[in-house]
Chains A and B, each alone.
Chain A
């Protein structure tokens, strides 16, 4: 290609790009000016920072971006998905304005914070039991069978317990390969919490971010790593959060819930679980093994944790506006991001939490 022809080709391209950029810029401006949800005026320039749960990161990323582009243009929100534990530590040290967390603050750690905390539930999501088994496209598992599989008490797919859950399926004698998280993870904590609650006699490994898996299981890093191992290994089974499992095209097992009904992992099932679970006074929910008939039993809630008494006027106001947006416009976007929105009753309670925020 000679320089002349190169210029000839590039010139129209450059024009097209300029027009496109101009069009984007102007449409954004006009769109933004007309819609300021909540009717609020524009807040002064502030930067909010948060860290914590990687589970809610995909939701946060999109909703925070929309918040700063549609609602409050002067506010910047940074969120780093460092893990729930790190988020809580950062909030204790005052490094961040809010923490994302899938787990509640341990009683022993409450005194390490600089003041009273508020939990604001934002969304929930199912944790899938994903598997790969050639010839088997639908599978039902009860809590006790899951507990036995994941503690290596059942080692082949044609075990009587699995047959009892799936009387009509033809199951091969393939060995079961349990895949778990190799890194410390809130997903592991929530999954093992479910097993502890739903199958206490069959699950003896306890519940934490890392548990003492049997020696013939294999570990992989992050949800995506577990998903990759499952999809590349015949006979593999593991727990993967809903959005990553969907993205990896995994096959999900349906789970027999506390009411005895077989439920596939869906966002509606997660919302139903949240709706049927009791809500505590500090607006936390434990939807694991929830009693509702349509409840998907392995559902994990996720929260934003903030200080009740804010110390900075601008930051406090912006933080409250952000939370209002998450519980307002954010809820409508949840489904498209593979997260389950809050049920109405809980949403009302979550919104009531925002009124408790004290701004100087």
Chain B
């Protein structure tokens, strides 16, 4: 260590090493590249808000609190779509998170080393399937086949409080919040899996070995060493998955049923902000068009908030593991 220090000191003294100009240039280029992201983000936020202003100023707070989306009557309330977006995302996370963590644990802790690579490859392949393919499969295979299943589930939970509302709805050709949620769950599973896998891989072997040496079983080792170390990283992965789920457009548009409804009944058709924009933007004019852009602004805002929260969690997790 001590022997290495003199050359370092030499580089930072008054002499001009040949790399100095390149260093300076690199610094500015990197700074500009970093700033350009912020500038683009700010410009998007500004121009979309500007475009959406006629709708925001006309509707005021009703844009967020009214569920009436009535184009001939020129009333634009986005509440049903905001709620729909959150509902579909919640269903997607409900299914995707346990499965993703399970796959990640399986890959890092259970599976033999030589099989690991091929399983990782298959999971990553799932992430590469275009969303419209998931959507088409959902619309032509999953939705028609799930009608009977939804009926049975609704009948089973008919007398259970809360669940009898959640697990009900009109069994109309299978398009529903639930179908959309399941499709989105499929799409975000690979993302959450690969991030949590990376996080699990950073758990120091010494900690795992310490737990095992104390007589812990494999599950006790995972619970005692792996989870506490990766909690922040898992939350970050889930929030990144949530961001993706909320923005998912075409697959949701194909299976959600495009009905303007504010309901907690998961088997009934509904709509999400992204799907409404995709479906209706083509023929929209004036205030109607502004209202659709307004949906985009709301979606953008919610996504940014979630992104910031995700970053904060990841940063906290990093800080903690660095301190450990």
Contacts of A229 in B (CB 8 A): 173
Tell me how many residue pairs across A and B have CB atoms closer than 8 Å.
98
- Could you tell me which residues of chain B, from 59 to 73, have a CB within 8 Å of some CB in chain A? 68-73
Name the contact of B173 in the complex, choosing from A82, A206, A208, A218 (C-beta under 8 A). A218
Q: How many residues of A contact B (CB 8 A)?
A: 35
Report B187 CB to chain A, min CB distance, Å. 19
Pick the most buried of B71, B271, B275, B283: most chain A CB atoms within 10 A of its CB.
B283
| A185 to B258 Cα, complex, angstroms | 14
Contacts of A217 in B (CB 8 A): 259, 269
Interface size for chain B: under 10, 10 to 19, 20 to 34, or 35 or more residues? 20 to 34
Q: Which residue of A lies closest to B269 (CB)?
A: A218
Q: A206-B70, A206-B72, A210-B71 are in contact. Are A220 and B258 (CB under 8 A)?
A: yes
| A86 to B282 Cα, complex, angstroms | 8
Contacts of B261 in A (CB 8 A): 215-216
B70 touches A216 (CB 8 A): no
Interface string of B251-275 (1 = CB under 8 A from A): 0011001111111000011010001
A183 touches B172 (CB 8 A): no
A207 touches B173 (CB 8 A): no
B282 touches A83 (CB 8 A): yes
A212 touches B69 (CB 8 A): yes
Is A236 interfacial (CB 8 A cutoff)? yes
Contacts of B271 in A (CB 8 A): 219
Q: Which residue of B lies closest to A230 (CB)?
A: B173
B280 touches A218 (CB 8 A): no
Name the contact of B73 in the complex, choosing from A82, A209, A212, A218 (C-beta under 8 A). A212
B282 touches A216 (CB 8 A): no
By secondary structure, the A interface counts as loop
Name the contact of A184 in the complex, choosing from B73, B263, B282 (C-beta under 8 A). B282
Is B144 interfacial (CB 8 A cutoff)? yes
Contacts of A211 in B (CB 8 A): 70-72
| A218 to B284 Cα, complex, angstroms | 20
A219 touches B71 (CB 8 A): no
Contacts of A83 in B (CB 8 A): 282-283
| A253 to B254 Cα, complex, angstroms | 27
B283 touches A86 (CB 8 A): yes
Report A206 CB to chain B, min CB distance, Å. 3
Contacts of B173 in A (CB 8 A): 177, 218, 229, 232-233, 236
Is A85 interfacial (CB 8 A cutoff)? yes
Contacts of A175 in B (CB 8 A): 170
- Could you tell me which residues of chain A, from 1 to 15, have a CB within 8 Å of some CB in chain B? none
B253 touches A221 (CB 8 A): yes
Report B69 CB to chain A, min CB distance, Å. 6
A218 touches B257 (CB 8 A): yes
Is B175 interfacial (CB 8 A cutoff)? yes
Q: A85-B285, A219-B257 are in contact. Are A233 and B71 (CB under 8 A)?
A: no
Residue positions of A touching B, CB distance < 8 A: 82-86, 175, 177, 180, 182-186, 192, 205-221, 229, 232-233, 236
Residue positions of B touching A, CB distance < 8 A: 68-73, 144, 170, 172-173, 175, 253-254, 257-263, 268-269, 271, 275, 279-285, 288
Q: 8 smallest A-B Cβ distances: which pairs?
A: A219-B258, A206-B72, A184-B283, A215-B261, A182-B258, A212-B70, A233-B173, A208-B72
Q: Can you spell out 21 A-B residue pairs with CB atoms less than 8 angstroms apart?
A: A85-B284, A85-B285, A183-B282, A184-B283, A205-B70, A205-B72, A207-B72, A210-B71, A211-B71, A212-B71, A212-B72, A215-B262, A215-B263, A215-B269, A218-B172, A218-B257, A219-B258, A221-B253, A229-B173, A232-B173, A236-B173
